């Protein structure tokens, strides 16, 4: 069989294969379609949380990620309704928020039953300190339990407590495989997860903190 010459790739005037992809966006223009507050009911609690988030930033769009998280917490997933409600309060288009939510894999764009998220960092620092064994142990501990979702994740920015995991947003580490069952047990019992290994309990984060109310962490200068 003879193969003919490869047809040339079609290019547009500016050299791209996708028309307009590198056109500069005019960020000063009003968004095209913003949900109408008169026809878009937003739960009071969600509205108040988003407004408080927007006040933290000079540009309200900087609050998009925490605002989407708030809506996801309320709705269980980042549904079209959730995005529309956030867009309504933030005066943005739902499309803008969809572009943000679809980029980050902490947002659920498909409905899922309520569950706990355990993200085990398997990036370089955690990997070198045994993250794969921690991930295996957690996967085994949660096996068959659809309410606990365990997955590997890229660097979560807490390399100093490697190997670590984010459990529903709570950073815990350094972890050992033997911590896995307790993490799952704590989640099932609705308890705070591994309080003595929570990042927030370390003296470098909160100088007044004593992990679990007990002795300082061994890495804490107060322990020596
Ligand atoms: S490599 Fe795991 S938190 Fe950075």
pLDDT of residue 208: 63
Q: Which of 57, 74, 101 is the C-terminal boundary of a domain?
A: 101
Residue 199 CA to ligand 1 centre (angstroms)? 13
Query: Does any domain span residue 58?
Result: yes
In a domain, 182, yes or no: yes
Do 142 and 196 have their domain in common? yes
Phi first, then psi: what are they for 143, rounded to 5°? -55, 130
Residues 164 and 207 in one domain: yes
Q: Describe the strand order of the beta sheet including 116-121 as a list of residue ranges.
A: 148-153, 116-121, 165-167, 170-172
If one compares 178 and 213, the residue with the highest pLDDT of the two is: 178
State both tokens at 141. 């501990």
Q: How far apart are CA 117 and CA 167, in angstroms?
A: 6
Alpha-carbon distance of 117 to 106, in angstroms, equals 9
Q: Which atom of ligand 1 is nearest to the CA of 156?
A: 3
One domain, residues 85 and 152: no
Distance between CA atoms of 84 and 41, rounded to whole angstroms?
10
End residue of a domain, out of 101, 126, 146: 101
Same domain? For 172 and 200 the reply is yes
**Alpha carbon of 124 to ligand 1 centroid (Å):** 7
Distance 74 CA to ligand 1 centre (A): 29
| Mean pLDDT, residues 186-213 taken together | 80
Instruction: Report pLDDT for 103.
Output: 86
Give Cβ neighbours of residue 204 (< 8 Å, ≥ 6 apart).
Answer: none
Do 205 and 170 reside in the same domain of the chain?
Answer: yes
Angle in degrees, 0-180, between the axes of helices 64-75 and 80-90, rounded to the nearest 10: 140
- What does the DSSP 8-state code read for residue 198? B
User: Tens digits of per-residue pLDDT, 86-108?
Assistant: 999 999 999 999 989 988 878 88
Whether 31 maps to a domain, the answer reads no
Residue 107 lies in a domain: no
Range of the domain at 126: 116-213
Arithmetic mean of pLDDT over the chain: 86
User: What is the average per-residue pLDDT within 170-195?
Assistant: 96
Residue 69 lies in a domain: yes
- Tell whether 25 is covered by a domain: no
Structure tokens at 192: 């705070």
Give CA angle at 23 (21, 28), nearest 5°: 125
Instruction: Indicate whether 97 and 137 sit together in one domain.
Output: no
Note the pTM of the prediction, 2 decimals.
0.66
How far, in Å, is the centroid of ligand 1 from the Cα of 118?
A: 14
- 121 with 162: CB under 8 angstroms? yes
Q: Please choose from 119, 159, 165, 170 the residue to mutate so as to test ligand 1's pocket, defined by most ligand atoms within 8 A of CB.
A: 159
Tokens 């547009």 correspond to what residue? 12
């Amino acid at each position: 069989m003879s193969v003919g010459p490869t047809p040339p790739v079609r290019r547009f005037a500016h050299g791209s294969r996708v028309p307009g992809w590198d056109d500069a966006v005019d960020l000063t223009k009003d968004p095209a379609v913003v949900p109408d507050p008169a026809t878009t009911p937003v739960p009071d609690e969600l509205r108040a949380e988003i407004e408080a988030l927007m006040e933290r930033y000079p540009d309200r769009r900087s609050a998009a990620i925490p605002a989407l998280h708030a809506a996801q917490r309320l709705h269980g997933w980042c549904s079209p309704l959730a995005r529309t409600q956030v867009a309504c309060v933030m005066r943005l288009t739902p499309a803008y928020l969809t572009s943000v939510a679809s980029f980050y894999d902490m947002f659920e764009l498909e409905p899922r039953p309520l569950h706990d998220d355990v993200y085990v960092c398997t990036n370089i620092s955690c990997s070198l300190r045994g993250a794969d064994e921690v991930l295996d142990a957690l996967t085994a501990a949660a096996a068959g339990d659809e309410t606990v979702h365990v997955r590997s994740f890229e660097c979560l920015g807490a390399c100093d407590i490697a190997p670590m995991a984010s459990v529903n947003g709570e950073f815990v580490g350094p972890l050992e495989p033997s911590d896995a069952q307790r993490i799952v047990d704590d989640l099932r019992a609705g308890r705070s997860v591994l309080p003595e290994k929570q990042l927030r309990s370390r003296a470098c984060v909160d100088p007044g903190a004593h992990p679990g109310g007990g002795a300082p962490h061994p890495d804490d200068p107060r322990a020596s």
